[in-house]
Amino acid sequence: MKIKGIKIKEETHTALLKKQIEVMEKTGDKPNIVDLASDLIEKGLDALDDPQMKALKPKK
């Protein structure tokens, strides 16, 4: 998966989703896959605005 030039390994996304689902099942929450996935994507996009992440972007 590629977001604005920063490559994110899909395995990482999958692992994060699985972990969140496991935690939710233990606490008795019903995991909503769509919400979890969109939440992860939002976090990924927020990370792009992070100054440390911007420093990693290649200069044009």
Domain residue extents for the chain: 2-56
Q: Measured between alpha carbons, how far is 25 from 14 in angstroms, rounded to an integer?
A: 16
Mean of all residue pLDDT scores within the chain? 68
Note whether 4 and 58 are within 8 A (CB).
no
Q: pLDDT tens digits, residue range 8-44?
A: 566 666 777 777 778 877 877 776 777 777 777 777 6
- pTM of the complete model beyond 0.85: no
Q: Measured between alpha carbons, how far is 41 from 53 in angstroms, rounded to an integer?
A: 15
